[in-house]
């Protein structure tokens, strides 16, 4: 079973039909399960509101929600040991690590190059097609 953790950047690209969003959609459709932290919902809704775009919830429908039941101190430390990222990016990576301590078993979907580099350094599967120049 192929599982992917989805970062907000992917759904923002789809919502606004940004360059390359088709690659994201195709890749997400190829996975058996998509998981995200509920932080994604807040980030996506904020982006939609900022651009005055209505949300019908369809973008969120395929997601399973990850709600950690404890502090992610160890996971956040592991993320920051792998590389420097912003707080929200660290949270998404920490949640992915919480979901799959064996990082080689989880795809991390992001369009953020820095976050992708840290995810790859941690051993997550990262699709380089998302970052083709």
Task: Answer yes or no: is pLDDT of 133 > 60.
Answer: no
Strand pairing category for 3-6 and 107-109: parallel
Task: Answer yes or no: is pLDDT of 102 > 90.
Answer: yes
CA distance 130 to 95: 21
Task: Answer yes or no: is pLDDT of 131 > 70.
Answer: no
Count of domains forming the chain:
1
Q: Give the pLDDT confidence of 39-96 residue by residue, as tens digits.
A: 999 999 999 999 999 888 899 999 999 999 999 999 999 999 999 999 999 999 999 9
**Domain of residue 60, residue span:** 3-131
Contact yes or no for 73/98 (Cβ under 8 A): no
Q: What is the mean pLDDT of residues 113-118?
A: 97
On whether the pTM is more than 0.75, the answer is: yes
Q: What percent of the chain has pLDDT over 90?
A: 90
CA distance 74 to 97: 10
Q: Looking at residue 125, which CATH number applies to its domain?
A: 3.40.50.1010
């Amino acid at each position: 079973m192929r599982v992917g953790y989805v970062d907000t950047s992917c759904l923002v690209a789809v919502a606004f039909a940004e360059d390359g969003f088709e690659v994201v959609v195709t890749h997400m459709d190829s996975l058996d399960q998509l998981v995200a932290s509920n932080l994604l919902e807040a980030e996506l809704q904020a982006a939609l509101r900022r651009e005055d775009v209505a949300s019908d919830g369809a973008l969120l429908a395929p997601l399973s929600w990850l709600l950690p039941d404890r502090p992610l101190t160890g996971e956040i430390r592991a993320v920051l040991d792998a590389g420097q990222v912003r707080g929200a990016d660290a949270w998404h990576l920490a949640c992915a690590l919480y979901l799959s301590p064996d990082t080689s078993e989880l795809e991390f979907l992001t369009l953020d190059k820095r976050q992708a580099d840290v995810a790859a350094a941690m051993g997550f599967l990262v699709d380089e097609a998302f970052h083709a120049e």
